[in-house]
Structure formats: C-alpha cells, structure tokens
Structure 1
Amino acid sequence: MAGEISFFELGVGDFEAARTFYSGLFGWIFEPGPTEGGGYAISTPNVPGGVHGGDPGAGPYLFFRVDDMKAALERVRELGGTVDDFDAGDDDETVARFGRFKLCHDDQGSPFGLHEPPAA
C-alpha cells in the first residue's frame, strides 16, 4: 500500500452544473462516466477524478491507492475501521477503466476511500 491520493470524487446535486463550474474554474476536462446514471470522469493535471449527481452538499471523497484491495480491506477491519457496503461500480467496464473503489471509515468514524488502479 503506497497511500498516496490516487482519485477524488465530487458528490453534487447536479453533475451538469458541476461540470460547467469546475471546467470554468480550473479548466478540467470532463468525459462521460461509465454508468447509466450519468456523471463524468475528470482529467486534471495531477490526480484523476469523477463527479456524480444526487449527492447535494457532500464533501469531496478522497481515495488512497492500494496495490491489493482485499488485503487493504482486511487491514482496515483489523485496525478497527469499517468498510461500507456501497456499490462503487465493480462492473467489468468500470474496473477496466478506473479500477476498484471502496468507501471506508477509520476507527474514529472519519470517512476515506481506497482505490486499486486498473491493471496496466
């Protein structure tokens, strides 16, 4: 587990409005996301990201890179953290394009995410 930030996700009420705002502010490039519900993949100069709608007022989700998702999830639980049951898109297309994602909480309840990048 390297632990560097490898992906971010913005939860917003309206992903089209977020696209307009963030592309205007930062010049980020948005491409359609892999799910039928919409959203976008975001290309930035440093860390790739995504934006999804239906989540008004949410803070940004930060995902830390891991090399082995199964081992990382076991370690989270061993250390007293929890792993959410939320479906973060483990279908073949999403995994091939973006990798695997899991939402977790540390032993004090603070949220964070784990990201296993797609195979090269």
Structure 2
Amino acid sequence: MADPVVHFEIIGPDPAALRSFYSGLFGWDAPPGASVAPEISDTDQYSFIDAIPTGDSSGIPGGIGGGAQSAARATFYVGVPDVERALAEAERLGGTRILGPVRNEGGGVTVGHFRDPAGNLIGVAGPR
C-alpha cells in the first residue's frame, strides 16, 4: 500500500501576512498558537488549517507558520510509520536529509524533511 499525503504547510518570514493572504484568497481560518516543533516554525506563530472537505469528503489539513528566520517554502508531508526509516531510504535513493527526525510532543507527531534528487523539499510525518 502506498503512503498518503497527510499535511501541507506554508512557511515564511512573516506568518501573520501569510495567514492574512490565505484567509483573503481561500477563506482559510488559521489562528496562531498551535503546537509545533521549533525546528519547523516559531512556536507562537504556527497555525493549523483543518481539512476542508471536497465533494467526496476528502481533504488534507495544513499549517501556516514561520518567523523572522524562516525561509519561504511550501511543503507537503507524506504519512509514514517510521520517519527515520523513511529519511534513510530517501538518502539511499539519492535524496538529501534536511531535518529530523524531530518530535512535536504537543502534537504527538514526528517529522522530517528531505530534498529529492531535483531539489524539492518534501516532508514525512509519523508516530515515530
């Protein structure tokens, strides 16, 4: 069975401006203060966006965050059972580990980032 996309996030140096932009553009409600690992975003600047259902009731939750030291990026996360194993496999296949595994105790999730061979930043998330 293939691993699904489970989360997306938009990160930048001015998270308040990003929240305002995406609220105006798409109607996303994203109040700051969600639990997040500090390696991902300033902890008081991260916002979760609930999954917005499509016609078939599917939808992917997301987040907006960052802070003054954050590089702008949009990333999607693939759900995996073991983040370390997925990062090691990405490296074995020619990717480059960028972050992790990092545990967000408040959210009960472990995340990691890697760049694929073309340089795209991809996230993996799982229980460990």
Q: Compute the TM-score of the two structures, normalised by the length of structure 1.
A: 0.75
Q: Which letter maps to 1:41?
A: F
Give aligned-pair identity as a percent: 29
Q: How does 1:108-119 map to 2 (within 5 A)?
A: 108-116=118-126, 118=127
- 1:71 matches 2:92: no
Can you list the C-alpha shifts for 1:41-76, whole angstroms capped at 9, x where unaligned?
1123111111113336x2311111212222212211
Q: Which letter maps to 1:11?
A: I
- 1:42 matches 2:29: no
Structure 1 consecutive aligned stretches of length 4 or more whose deviation exceeds 3 Å: 85-88
- Structure 2: state its 5+ residue gaps: 37-42, 53-58
Provide the aligned C-alpha RMSD in A: 2.5
Look up the match of 1:23: 23
Instruction: Report the number of matched residues.
Output: 113
Cα gap change, 1:70 to 1:20, in 2 (>3 Å): same
Q: Work out the CA distance in 2 between the residues paired with 1:64 and 1:106.
A: 13
Shift of 1:10: 0.5
Q: Compute the TM-score of the two structures, normalised by the length of structure 2.
A: 0.71
- Partner-residue secondary structure (3-state), 2:87: helix
- Structure 1: state its 5+ residue gaps: none
Look up the match of 1:7: 7
Look up the match of 2:39: none
Look up the match of 1:83: 97
Cα gap change, 1:27 to 1:109, in 2 (>3 Å): closer
